[in-house]
Amino acid sequence: MKTFKLFSLEVVEEDGQSVEVPLEDGLIINKEDERSTWLIEAYTDLTLYDYFKKIEEENREIIVETVITKRENDPAFFQTKIVTLNKFEHQMSVLLEGHLRRNKSDYSELLLENLLQKGLQGEPLLTEFKEKMKSKPKLKVKKNR
């Protein structure tokens, strides 16, 4: 198993919106098993408890966008389910289990697709692509069904 620091976490909703999870701390673990399973544990304040509780009760899969180790790293997307949800006095913990949706090299493909959908082409496309590859804005992905 390999363990990494979870730098940021967002839940990507079905409508393309996202819910940012303000992290107090977090870990992401590559179990390196035959199913390529990952565990994501996030410690956050209690404001999102009801949100995650509803997802857990619906037994719903969610896509999360993570940044691991440091801000400059490309985001990684995981298709996950809630394994446990724990409420503490001033914070909560959510443990997710899932699988990597796209690897880091796919970020450029997602970005290019996004810019093409906005109608950019030629020099404006190249300029915007270079700028966004440096700033790494959040990109929304569609859920596989």
Per residue of the chain (145 residues), what is the pLDDT tens digit?
999 999 999 998 877 678 999 999 999 999 998 888 999 999 999 999 999 999 999 999 999 999 999 888 888 889 999 999 999 999 999 999 999 885 545 677 777 877 888 899 999 999 988 888 877 776 655 544 3
Q: Is 10 helix (H, G, I), strand (E, B) or coil?
A: strand
For residues 129 and 112, is the Cβ–Cβ distance under 8 A?
yes
pTM over 0.75: no
Cβ neighbours of residue 19 closer than 8 Å, sequence gap 6 or more: 10, 11, 13, 48, 51
Tokens 């996950």 locate to 80
For residues 78 and 38, is the Cβ–Cβ distance under 8 A?
yes
DSSP conformation class of 35? T
